[in-house]
Structure 1
Amino acid sequence: MLQNGAPWLDTQGRPIQAHGGALLRHDDVTYWYGENKDGDTYQGFLHRVDVIGVSCYASTDLLAWRPEGVVLPARPDDPTHDLHPSNVAERPKVLRNPHTGKFVMWLHVDHADYTLARVGVAVADTPRGPFRYQGSFRPAHMDSRDFTVFQDDDGQAYLYFSSDWNATLRVVPLDDDYTGVRSAPTDVFTRAHREAPAVFRHGDRYFMLTSGCTGWDPNPAEYAVAPHPLGPWSVIGNPCQGPGADLTFGAQPTFALPLDDGSVLVMLDRWRKEDLRDSRYVWLRGHVHGEQLTLRWQDAWTGTHAQAAHVVTPSPSSRRSE
């Protein structure tokens, strides 16, 4: 088992460096992508670590994680590159495109002062990479900071991103290649100051878990429910229960993965802003009843033999109409 909030080690006995991460299921293996923060933390109002790259780990039981290396490395040779160590590269998420067969990584890329506010895109032929960086952009020319991507059962994928300096959270469908957006964004929450979205589907309802905007410090979680990925989204409240529920157990959501047993794995980061490389992980099993999401504290993540829910491989004609 893995003790929540304690250091987690990979199968080689090294601390797992996959912060702000996400999971991808492919060919009976689950891949965990996240920020490698194995460097010194710069102190100040905006704590940061030089960009090292995106790490990947692989597992068959969501418990023992084999390191696959840095699959999207920093670019120290090019000071103008988005992935230069002096910049910011956060919250990587990976989707497999059922039409192209490619693996597409999205990430938040920024300057050290967070004024660039773009999404970056990289593509690979296998889940283990290497990922080839394609560049960055602002969705519909709107600033983007914390974000997630979500792939529905029909193959349509969506980008959810915090914008207007995190005052507004928006959603926009991805294009057929998953490397761009294909329409104007829709506002999900305005003047709400929500970030760190994690989106999943349960039955015919869509759930979004978010945090407030308090920097690296924890705050109350909140979730919303919608009949469609574009909304309308109705805020329900804080799903957390147990000691520390008022501050999301000292952590912040990053990703949610439905499991075949009907529960959902909710991944959270417990940030240590004075030493970001030592930030910890909290993984909890959430339960859904109708539109109620319950997230109770558990001392440990024990893994699962239940397989992660699979995404249906659609034909282009089966896509959800917008």
Structure 2
Amino acid sequence: MKLEVAPRARKGLRRSIAAIASLACAVALLPGTAQADNPIVQNIYTADPAPIVHNGRVYVYTGHDEDGSTYFTMREWRVYSSADMVNWTDHGVPMSLATFAWADANAWAGHVVPRNGKFYWYVPVRQRSNGQMVIGVGVAESPTGPFRDALGRPLVGNGEIDPHALIDDNGQAYLYWGNPNLWYVRLNPDMISFSGGPTQIPLTTAGFGTRTGNPSRPTLYEEGPWVYKRNGLYYNVFAAQCCSEFIAYSTAPGPTGPWTYRGTVMPRQGSSFTNHPGVIDFNGGSYFFYHNGALPGGGGYTRSVAVERFAYNSDGTLPTINMTAAGPPQIGTLNPYVRQEAETIAWGSGIETEPSSEGGVNVGYIENGDHIKVRGVAFGSGATSFTARVASNTGGGRIELRLDGTNGPVVGTCTVGGTGGWQNWTSTTCAVGGATGTRDLYLRFTGGSGYLFNVNWWQFGGGSAVPSHG
């Protein structure tokens, strides 16, 4: 059922985000101006990105900072995916503190790794029995969950946080974590047990740089290790020297060292005093995920995940990467002639998402003037119709189909009537004209006061098939 109390409280913040969305859209329409679609999620605060590549898509797992938080108040994790690095599909909440009956707080920075046809999500949580931070493991058969507690107890725990898993070329898996220290264990092939005990990696100034003014922490290493292998070299990218943190990295010939400090990846930027790295290669490009406080009300406890494309230097070193509002370029185009989830969004203004009775997630809490932007939609020779799956417990409203901006040309308008419930779904279809070529699509929602309707998915008809990454 539609629960309105908490979302009504959140909509004030979404109005603020709507204001900067309008500004971003206006800027995007200026000649020669880059698109502005960072952060990649706008309807909630997200933090601590952990990206993976699976079956031609990027999945990024995040934490969720609660609105108005004055601490790291986090109760659940989220997952988003994309095939083109600009339009991100919201898959909802596949795991929360409730997944771990023995945990009571702090759904903090985790990491997912696929193996054995399953997906293992290592997360730090507070153990109810002793109040200590420990590492739990969720497991699922799908990258979007749902995840369940793999052990019914912590995997390992010593009061430290930020786990990250690496499966080496020889099949040996490692779990790294730590703040203020840096630890690892050798995971067994089942990924939910380990051989030997936790081993501490020596934090030397040669390995992790020199911190001044803090004798108890002589190196720059702070937290958030992201360890991976590329061209025979092991990289450890980490959050450095709180507060505020920057992102630094070290390299080593082996997965446990010896490490050599290499310098800064992302300088201190943005309005969050923490940062958290995630690095992947996808479709011939390299991508750096991080978080900042760029949304309205954003800061150190209300963060937002963003991403940049980068290229390694010829010697394998990492370049300096700066935060941008533009984010990476789009890979390919989005095909409007196949069903697209309404929660596939480059930028959303005013909307929320929620679980759908038809499965997955739908866009909801839509009010007059809210909109969704979808980038790089390949209409080809031209669409002739538009169908949306909708539901409304009120009198409904209209979906205006606009190109290039919220005030761009209207190529179609679909009327949404009442359906007798927020999860009583029906399909509505309207004629479309003038949607040709590759354009940015804006779904602009209009109607009376209050909540208008929900949208589950949409699809254009009548046009030519186009190659798609969406």
Percent identity between the two aligned chains:
22
Which residue is equivalent to 2:154?
137
**What are the ranges of 5 or more consecutive residues in structure 2 without an aligned counterpart?**
1-33, 204-216, 333-470
- Whether the aligned pair in 2 keeps the contact of 1:56 and 1:67 (CA below 8 Å) is yes
Which residue is equivalent to 2:122?
106
Q: Residue 143 of structure 2: which of 114, 118, 127 is its match?
A: 127
> Map of 1:1-322 to 2, 5 A cutoff?
3=36, 7-9=39-41, 15=43, 17-41=45-69, 43=70, 47-51=71-75, 53-75=76-98, 81-82=102-103, 84=104, 87-97=105-115, 100-110=116-126, 116-134=132-150, 135-137=152-154, 139=156, 142-162=158-178, 166-190=179-203, 191=217, 192=219, 193-214=221-242, 217-240=243-266, 245=267, 247=268, 252-261=275-284, 263-271=285-293, 278-286=302-310, 287-297=312-322, 299=324, 300-305=326-331
- Whether the aligned pair in 1 keeps the contact of 2:49 and 2:61 (CA below 8 Å) is yes
Closer/same/farther in 2, CA of residues 68 and 90 from structure 1, 3 Å limit = same
Distance 2:35 2:182 in 1: 33
* Aligned residues between the structures: 276
Letter in 2 for 1:202: R
Distance 2:321 2:49 in 1: 21
TM-score between the two structures when normalised by the length of structure 1? 0.74
Letter in 1 for 2:182: L
Distance 1:220 1:17 in 2: 20
Letter in 2 for 1:211: A
TM-score between the two structures when normalised by the length of structure 2? 0.52
- The answer to which of 247-256 and 122-131 deviates more is 247-256
Q: CA deviation at 1:50?
A: 4.6
Q: CA deviation at 1:7?
A: 4.6
Which residue is equivalent to 1:316?
none
Equivalent position SS for 2:109: strand
Distance 2:63 2:323 in 1: 24
Larger radius of gyration: 2
Equivalent position SS for 1:282: strand
Distance 2:226 2:282 in 1: 15
- Whether the aligned pair in 1 keeps the contact of 2:137 and 2:155 (CA below 8 Å) is no
Distance 2:117 2:197 in 1: 26
Q: CA deviation at 1:265?
A: 1.3
Distance 1:277 1:142 in 2: 24
Equivalent position SS for 2:65: coil
Which residue is equivalent to 2:422?
none
- Whether the aligned pair in 2 keeps the contact of 1:39 and 1:49 (CA below 8 Å) is no
RMSD: 3.1
Distance 1:186 1:230 in 2: 10
Equivalent position SS for 1:90: coil
**What are the ranges of 5 or more consecutive residues in structure 1 without an aligned counterpart?**
307-322
Distance 1:239 1:31 in 2: 22
- Whether the aligned pair in 2 keeps the contact of 1:23 and 1:32 (CA below 8 Å) is yes
- Whether the aligned pair in 1 keeps the contact of 2:59 and 2:82 (CA below 8 Å) is yes
Letter in 2 for 1:282: A
- Whether the aligned pair in 2 keeps the contact of 1:8 and 1:15 (CA below 8 Å) is no
- The one-character-per-residue Cα deviations of 1:167-214 (angstroms, maximum 9, x if unpaired) are 321222221111232233343343535211122222010111112352
Closer/same/farther in 2, CA of residues 235 and 275 from structure 1, 3 Å limit = closer
Q: CA deviation at 1:294?
A: 0.9
Closer/same/farther in 2, CA of residues 28 and 138 from structure 1, 3 Å limit = closer
Q: CA deviation at 1:228?
A: 1.4
